[in-house]
Chains A and B, each alone.
Chain A
Amino acid sequence: MKNFDIEKLERKNIYKTPENFFGEVQENVLNEISSNRKTERKSAKILYLSRNYAVAASLVLLFGAAAFWQINNQNFINTNTSDSLKTAVIITENLPEKQKPQAYQTLKNDIEEAKTETTENTVKYAESKPQKTLEKEIETVTPKTKKEIIPSTTEAQFEQIMKELPNTEIADIGKGAEQDVYLDLYY
């Protein structure tokens, strides 16, 4: 063994191998490749479908958000105006007697301004809405305004005039008028 030279040794494969396993290798490789191809096709199809669904969903979301914003904005304007008027009337009624005439005058001016603003907003809103929808909205909104704002202003105006008149003048007016049974009962 002293003069052993590896180059002179025969090149041999000494490991055990199953017979015809190369055929099995080729079959496995081709099967794997075809199954990969199927998976790729499936995933490509899924990707295409999910992209379409995503586009549809985002469109629905966009239109939904736009509609919600528009409705919400209109409600805010309406409720905000009527709420502020109610509060102003309550505050005015609770003021001391001396300050009431001035306060009623200011309130009257405010109401007129508010009416003008509401009319302007309504015109703008009406321009952006179809006719049928607008008619429906007017039907639902109008009775509320009549009940809440108009009676309170006429009462206020009446009360203001009555307060401004001295007692002698009120007595003179009362002489010329017919006796109102219900009024007497009320006072």
Chain B
Amino acid sequence: MLMKGQIYRKQAILSAFVALIVVAAPVAGLEPLGFDDPARQARYEALLHQLRCVVCQNQSLASSDAGLAGDLRQRVHQMVAEDQTNDAIKTHLIERYGDFVLYRPPVTARTYVLWFSAPVLLLAGIIVLAVTVHRRHHLPPRRLDANERTQLRRVLSDHRNDVS
């Protein structure tokens, strides 16, 4: 999967902890692409951040040196220049590279758990919270058992002795 002779900066984050050996050599492209029109520029930048460099260790198109990332940036740039919609651009890339190219996985049967776990857990948490609060609200004050009463008396008498 990894292209030989390419720096993988994100892999370096890994190596900060893991120290995978980073094989590296000449860097491909960081090409000066952009738009004079601010709206198009913003759309282009946003797209680059949402798309993954498919040969990299977790880098977006906005931050990859890989040759393929450069090619894809040019492709995206061209399609933005042609005023194609974001959806059209994403569909175009998915057709070639699969869902892997999207940093925001589409909601499908395979990703229901990914997308809906957090809301379901939140709901569960709120229910637990409500039940606990309800129970605590109506909890009668606990009576001390004999042991604890002796203990309390001892502590209190100790305290009185300390004070006096």
Note whether A and B form a binding pair: no
Residues of B within 8 A of A (CB): none
Question: Which chain A residues have a beta carbon within 8 Å of chain B's beta carbons?
Answer: none
